[in-house]
Amino acid sequence: MSKHVRLHHFSGGRFQPKDIPVVQEGPLSVYVNGQELVTLLCTPSKLEALVVGFLAFEGIIRGLEDIQSLTVLDEDGYADVRLTSDFVPPRRRIHTSGCGGGITFSLETHGSAAMEDNSSVDPRSLFPLIRELYVEAQSYRESRGIHAAALADGEKLVIVTEDVGRHNAIDKICGEAMLRGIPTTGKVLLATGRISSEMLRKGAHMGTPIVVSRTSATTMSIDLAKRLGLTLIGYVRGDSFYVYSHPERLVLPKPAPVLSR
């Protein structure tokens, strides 16, 4: 997902030639039933998952059974999707706050009722999960110019994705989960980038009651998390983090009773 680029490095008052890893980015034009839907600027990895996740979040498909065929030509930046039903391209495009000027066709939240999920996690378990995400995110470690996301079961990471666009990284999570038959409900969604309202909607769509970021949230995402019943966590650093909404899912285990002699 990255390639080495030769450049001039200025340090100590002088220039020196240097080779450094730079994250790859390119366009992926998605066609549905022969009609161009969108061109995504993305990192060329897990592109099938990206396409499937994007279509699911946009409400174009509900499951893999809605896809008759999917062909992705990585080098050509082309994806051809054939649905099992007719397709009418949406007319309304919304520019998101994502890197690279993301596109969505809807701001609706699928299943907009408050999430009724009684799952809980030990708040201390989030620290090793975030650390594991950075260990698994190889391109991030190499170039620092990419976003990473993960799906966790509370104890370990189940899926890890990377992309120049933070929305794309979440789309890849959804798509890979669908392709591999991994349930997302009740899981923890982790991301290295800012959690905007659009990204929180994606967490709600997948049924992940806990959404965690190493950085900040936005006012709109906080309001939405409160309304949808999601636990939103940000600024996971060292041994601390902020809980913006629904802290009841974070439960410290009760200390073992001390037996008197």
Which residues are catalytic, by number? Answer: 99
Point out which residues pair with 23 in neighbouring strands. Answer: 2
**Cα-Cα end-to-end distance for the chain:** 61
Torsion of CA 151, 156, 161, 165, to 10 degrees: 60
Q: Are 174 and 145 in contact (CB under 8 A)?
A: no
Q: Are 215 and 192 in contact (CB under 8 A)?
A: yes
Hey, what are 198's tokens?
A: 């659009």
